[in-house]
Structure 1
Amino acid sequence: MPTALLAVDDDESHVERQIETLVGLPFSSDELTVTILHVFSENPSGASVNQLKTARLAADRLGEAGFETAFAERSGDPAAEILEHATENDVALICVAGRKRSPTGKALFGSVTQDVILSAERPVLVAGELGDDRSAA
């Protein structure tokens, strides 16, 4: 069964958008498993992905929708670790959260989502803003 990689951070609104987007895809939950991944850039307390509120939220909501889920965690540069996990585990799809940023903000601070999109060798699903009206763009 193919696996989707749901790369979560600690922002609940990001995870809500990702869940909504993934659940809204046109396939049944028995056709896809979901690995919930969190990349720790620093983890001096030794936290685990299943201790994160956002990871538990994702697992609960996806489970309610009928998806089989698993947790995974890595440490290091988020974009690089997401891509490495995706390659090592041959995931079918990477799901990340997008957010609006100014060109200056992107240049100064970088973007995990942008790095994943530009470097991935597999499909990347970007969950946009909830209630985003794209017809105005």
Structure 2
Amino acid sequence: MYQIVVPVDDDVDRAVAQARYVTELPGDPNEVSVIVAHAYRDTNRTTEKPDEESQAVIEAINCLRDSGMAVEQRELYVPVAESILDLTADVDADAIVMSGRKRSPTGKALFGSVTQSVVLDATVPVTVVSVE
């Protein structure tokens, strides 16, 4: 079974683009297992989920399940990049599919970039998809 981690935020367009990329990968969808991981803006590492589920998570999961893939949902907490990498290692994932936000080089330097950190520190292939 090929395991993919798909970390999403609350942007529906980015989450759907990530899910569509995964569904278009070659091979049998029944041989792919996907973990959709969502980062809440909570600064505490609690196990409580917010009352409402993110629409981006719902849309990504529906897209993946409609293609016949096994999907699981996990929660991520800050620091998000570290949490993504920890999850990837914990589940022995084969790949990460994420979407970056458009930021200026200055914005990345001042505020950091989760995508950039994951790309630089991951031990598995990372695909960064864009929203068209």
The TM-score normalised by the length of structure 1 is 0.85
Matched residue type, 2:88: A
How much has 1:9 moved relative to structure 2? Answer: 0.5
Structure 1 residue ranges (4+ consecutive) displaced by more than 6 angstroms after TM superposition: none
Name 1:66's counterpart in structure 2. Answer: 68
| Cα distance in 2 for residues equivalent to 1:7 and 1:74 | 8
| Cα distance in 2 for residues equivalent to 1:29 and 1:8 | 20
Name 1:117's counterpart in structure 2. Answer: 119
How much has 1:48 moved relative to structure 2? Answer: 5.1
How much has 1:129 moved relative to structure 2? Answer: 2.6
Give the unaligned 5+ runs of structure 2.
none
Identity %: 33
> Alignment RMSD, CA only?
2.1
Question: How many pairs does the alignment contain?
Answer: 130
| Cα distance in 2 for residues equivalent to 1:59 and 1:50 | 15
| Cα distance in 1 for residues equivalent to 2:129 and 2:55 | 19
| Cα distance in 2 for residues equivalent to 1:50 and 1:24 | 29
Matched residue type, 1:21: Y
Matched residue type, 1:127: V
Give the unaligned 5+ runs of structure 1.
131-137
Name 2:131's counterpart in structure 1. Answer: 129
Residues 51-100 of structure 1 deviation map (CA, whole Å, 9 limit, x = unaligned): 22111111111111111101111322110000000011100111110233
The TM-score normalised by the length of structure 2 is 0.88
Whether the 8 Å contact between 2:16 and 2:63 is mirrored in structure 1 is: no
